[in-house]
Amino acid sequence: MRKLSPRSAVKFGKMKRFFLILAAVFSVLLCGCHDETPTTTEVIVVEEGKFAAIKSGEEYTVKSGFSVLVNGKLRGEPGSKIVVEDGGELLVNGELEVSGELLLEGFLGVSDSASVCGAGTVFVNEFDEINCEGRFTAKITPPAPVVKDGVTTVGGVIIVNKAISISPDYGNGLTEDTEAALERMRKDSGYEMPLISGFRDYETQVAVFENWCSKNGIEDAERFSSRPGHSEHQTGLTVDVTSTDDLFAFTDEARWIGENCYKYGFIVRYPKGKEEITGYVYEPWHLRYLGTSTAKLVHDSGLTLEEFLGAEGGDYRGEYVFSR
Ligand SMILES: [Zn+2]
């Protein structure tokens, strides 16, 4: 493990045992959902009120099996590089300033009173390697999209839109996490939030879409209905709640959802004024489950899911071929 620069307040010896215990407690509190705790945990602590700097041209690595706990401030200056190896963890309880680069192959935990800021960029492999409860304003650069078995993911997050399709056999209902999150949100909000539409399989979407086409013509149908294989409802991670009437946007309930749904792991998938990117007009009822940490990151970024993931979006790429 590389040593932090002299300005750091890293202390070993007597304090180490205490910090190991502290870090263990901290890990349990912060990282309840990740099971890859380092095997030979050695903790290096940046104390509260102190700070450590990684200077331009320097590289600081959190090695596999190591935890670095930042109770004070860790500052990666412009031109510096922080690497969190697979099996290593960087736990931020104070402030992490990324003004250079941070390569995240291991785990990054950000407690609710902590912040990750700076003008640099955080390179992420898998979004579930971040557990963010605090403020995260540093830019995130996701990995390139991966297509496997007809399903496109970016850093482990499934993406389906007009430009990116999903395999016809994918999905078999709403995921348990999605259902549980909706239930928690209902309880806390006090709104009933009836499920208008949850999981829709490929065949159902063929029938729904082509039915709208025969009634209204394809041009009109495509404004509010997805082509089969392009509906996010097929992921089992998407719900339409309460009402799909445009007037729903003006209700207190829609406002509550817009402000709070990220706390339960959802985002309003098609925000206002982003039709060119998402392919859909504002739908305050259409919620996509991402898990609480990723939903918070997307929410805090102010970006659409396409922008956040660096994924293609916009309109369909070709003509629709009718099944009958
Ligand atoms: Zn929907």
Residue 161 Cα to ligand 1 midpoint, Å, equals: 12
Q: For residues 180 and 187, give the distance between their C-alpha atoms in angstroms, rounded to a whole number.
A: 11
Predicted local distance difference test score (pLDDT) of residue 31: 42
Q: How far is CA 44 from the centre of its chain?
A: 28
Residue 130 Cα to ligand 1 midpoint, Å, equals: 27
Active-site entry in 183, 283, 307, 312: 283
% pLDDT > 70, the chain = 87
CB 278 within 8 A of CB 161: yes
pLDDT-derived band at 244, boundaries 50, 70, 90 = very high
Helix axis angle, 176-189 relative to 252-260, nearest 10°?
120
Share the mean pLDDT of the chain: 89
Q: For residues 100 and 57, give the distance between their C-alpha atoms in angstroms, rounded to a whole number.
A: 9
Predicted local distance difference test score (pLDDT) of residue 39: 55
Is 283 considered catalytic here?
yes
Taking residues 70-83, report their average pLDDT.
96
Q: Is the pLDDT of residue 21 over 70?
A: no
What is the value of pTM for the model shown? 0.86
Q: How far is CA 32 from the centre of its chain?
A: 17
Higher pLDDT, 3 or 44: 44
pLDDT-derived band at 40, boundaries 50, 70, 90 = low
Residue with tokens 């700076």: 118
Q: How many CA atoms lie within 13 A of 324 on its CB side?
A: 8
Residue 115 Cα to ligand 1 midpoint, Å, equals: 33
Residue 262 Cα to ligand 1 midpoint, Å, equals: 17
Every domain of the chain and the residues it spans? 14-141, 161-309
Query: What residue type is assigned to position 290 of the chain?
Result: L
- Report the CATH number of the 161-309 domain: 3.30.1380.10
Q: For residues 48 and 128, give the distance between their C-alpha atoms in angstroms, rounded to a whole number.
A: 27
Residue 181 Cα to ligand 1 midpoint, Å, equals: 17
Q: What is the pLDDT of residues 176-219, one digit of tens each?
A: 999 999 999 999 999 999 999 999 999 999 999 999 999 999 99
Dump the DSSP string for 179-200: HHHHHHHHHHH-----EEE---
